């Protein structure tokens, strides 16, 4: 059997009874968290542009857009995926050399699930499969250091979840994954240098392709059989040799994913938490700060601290701000929070945050790197103008897998994001539907998501 056939067999044989109680509960929390992100993004500029594009192009009204309209499954996957991803506030999975956002798979799997009119149980199972595939590939086949984006592994994962939701045969599952994967080896430049809208749209595009590929496979279109191990395949050209025994793979990957406490890039969470703890404990006034030193693990340094992916003291846009540790810590100390409003253009441009962020110096610490990804260690040192120095080290936070969010905590975040965008009645209806997802049909959930605000 090819590696692809082994993966397809794992997907085809996966059953709802394979999900542990904790896995099901964690999936529900990720759903609620992601829908909160989606509602909070409804007025985002790129979202409105995508909405205009979909209105212009049309599409058979087969599945639900979160704004209440309907379109084709592939376009719904793109639009709903953009909503979930735009705020950069959804979950993450940390591997030693790769970080991804597995809840990006919710939109494509939901589109396929609504099209197929499957049960909530089948939807959870399909989503668990997408999580399992993406997280496992991120662990054994990282691509970031080779110049490729984490959405590369996502092209396998999204197609896997979609294929399960569409109830494809093993051969069709294999073709869906192969077509999606061979066509989408995205470049890491998406997240380096001057960042663009594409930072938040790269995975929605992957979702679009995964749904598109699965429907092609459903119609009998084939893809390369040896997508993994073949001549010029994934291993040969990008990932190098690796091995996954899919017969031994479980569906519990979601349990090791983490939820953001702050609306900030995932590797910044402990640094923001530490800085705010210092401010509150010592009544620090930002205007009295001389400088701030932050020692982090190498991934944080390179992605958001000014390492290989560019100068992070130049911050002009939302996309640059939420990938600058300097900006995120500075605005947290000034505003006592990091939420969507901290990325408004007028907030980013203000003198206070632009001056404070330039007082922040970030470096990588090997001892911290050695503890990643089981911990996200940071050591924040704040030097005051009068000579006082305050220090704080943290390795996790509320939302990390060692301190998981409860459903109730996730609802508080959901409500904070959704307020002003949807009514309290709709908030409660969405929360209840997610809580009871095992006992309802996916079309029932989608009807609620698509109702008037």
Tell me which residue has tokens 């067999």.
9
- Residues 271, 245 within the same domain: no
| Distance, CA of 437 to CA of 431 (rounded, Å) | 10
pLDDT at 101 over 90: yes
Would you state the structure tokens that stand for residue 39, as one six-digit string?
Answer: 């509602």
Phi, psi of 118 (to 5 degrees): -90, 170
| pLDDT, tens digit, 9 for 90 and up, residues 328-387 | 999 999 999 999 999 999 999 999 999 999 999 999 999 999 999 999 999 999 999 999
77-93 burial, b at 16+ Cβ within 10 Å, e below that, comes to bbbbbbbbbbbbbbbbb
Domain end call among 346, 361, 394: 394
pLDDT at 453 over 90: no
pLDDT at 414 over 90: yes
- Residues 192, 299 within the same domain: no
**Position 403 in a domain:** no
Question: Whole-number mean pLDDT of the chain?
Answer: 97
- Residues 253, 297 within the same domain: no
Label residue 110 by pLDDT band (50, 70, 90).
very high
CATH number at residue 93: 1.10.4100.10
Q: Does the CA dihedral 344-350-352-353 come out positive or negative? A: positive
pLDDT at 25 over 90: yes
Q: Read off the pLDDT of each residue in 173-188 and give the average, rounded to a whole number.
A: 97
- Residues 113, 167 within the same domain: yes
pLDDT of residue 68: 85
Q: Which residues contact 223 (CB under 8 A, 6 or more apart)?
A: 174, 175, 176, 177, 178, 179, 181, 182, 213, 217
First to last CA, the chain: 50
pLDDT of residue 308: 85
**Position 401 in a domain:** no
Phi, psi of 372 (to 5 degrees): -85, 140
- Residues 36, 174 within the same domain: yes
**Position 400 in a domain:** no
Phi, psi of 363 (to 5 degrees): -140, 160
326-339 burial, b at 16+ Cβ within 10 Å, e below that, comes to bbbbbbbbbeeebb
DSSP summary character for residue 315:
-
**39: burial class by Cβ within 10 Å (0-12, 13-18, 19+)?**
buried
| Distance, CA of 443 to CA of 337 (rounded, Å) | 37
pLDDT of residue 309: 80
Q: Does the CA dihedral 443-23-35-167 come out positive or negative? A: negative
3-state SS assignment for residue 246:
helix
- Residues 384, 425 within the same domain: no
Instruction: Give the range of the structural domain holding residue 282, as residue numbers without chain letter.
Output: 266-394
pLDDT of residue 141: 98
Q: Read off the pLDDT of each residue in 80-90 and give the average, rounded to a whole number.
A: 97
- Residues 215, 307 within the same domain: no
| Distance, CA of 240 to CA of 256 (rounded, Å) | 25
User: How many Cα atoms occupy the beta-carbon half-sphere of 259 within 13 Å?
Assistant: 26
């Amino acid at each position: 059997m090819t590696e692809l056939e082994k993966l397809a067999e794992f997907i085809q044989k996966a059953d709802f009874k394979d999900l542990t109680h904790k896995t099901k509960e964690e999936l529900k929390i990720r759903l609620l968290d992601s829908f909160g992100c989606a509602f909070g993004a409804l007025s985002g500029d790129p979202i409105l542009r995508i909405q205009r594009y979909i209105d212009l192009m049309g599409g058979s009204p087969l599945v639900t857009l979160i704004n209440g309209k309907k379109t084709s499954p592939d376009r719904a996957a793109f639009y709903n995926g953009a909503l979930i991803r735009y705020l950069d506030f959804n979950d993450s999975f940390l591997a030693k050399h790769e970080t991804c956002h597995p809840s990006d798979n919710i939109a494509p799997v939901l589109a396929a699930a609504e099209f197929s009119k499957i049960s909530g149980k089948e939807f959870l199972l399909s989503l668990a499969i997408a999580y399992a595939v993406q997280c496992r590939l991120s662990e054994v086949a990282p691509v970031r250091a080779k110049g490729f984006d984490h959405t590369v592994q996502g092209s396998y994962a999204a197609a896997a979840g979609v294929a399960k939701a569409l109830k494809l045969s093993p051969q069709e599952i294999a073709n869906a994954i192969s077509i999606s994967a061979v066509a989408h080896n995205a470049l890491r430049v998406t997240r380096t240098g001057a960042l663009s809208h594409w930072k938040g749209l790269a995975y929605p595009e992957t979702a679009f392709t995964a749904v598109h590929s699965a429907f092609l496979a459903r119609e009998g279109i084939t893809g390369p059989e040896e997508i993994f191990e073949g001549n010029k395949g994934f291993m040969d050209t990008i990932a190098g040799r690796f091995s996954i025994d899919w017969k031994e793979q479980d569906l519990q990957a979601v349990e090791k994913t983490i939820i953001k406490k702050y609306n900030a890039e995932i590797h910044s969470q402990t640094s923001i938490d530490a800085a705010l703890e210092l401010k509150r404990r010592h009544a620090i006034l930002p205007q009295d700060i001389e400088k701030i030193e932050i020692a982090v693990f190498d991934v944080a340094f390179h992605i958001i601290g000014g390492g290989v992916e560019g100068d992070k003291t130049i911050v002009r846009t939302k996309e640059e701000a939420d990938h600058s540790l300097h900006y995120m810590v500075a605005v947290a100390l000034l505003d006592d929070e990091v939420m969507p409003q901290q990325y408004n253009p007028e907030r980013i441009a203000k003198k206070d945050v632009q001056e404070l962020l330039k007082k922040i110096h970030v470096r990588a610490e090997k001892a911290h790197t050695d503890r990643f990804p089981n911990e996200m260690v940071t050591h924040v040192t704040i030097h005051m103008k009068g000579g006082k120095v305050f220090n704080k080290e943290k390795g996790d936070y509320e939302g990390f897998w060692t301190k998981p969010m409860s459903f109730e905590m996730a609802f508080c975040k959901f409500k904070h994001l959704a307020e002003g965008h949807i009514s309290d009645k709709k908030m409660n209806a969405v929360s209840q539907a997610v809580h009871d997802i095992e006992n309802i049909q996916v079309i029932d959930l989608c009807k609620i998501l698509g109702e008037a605000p």
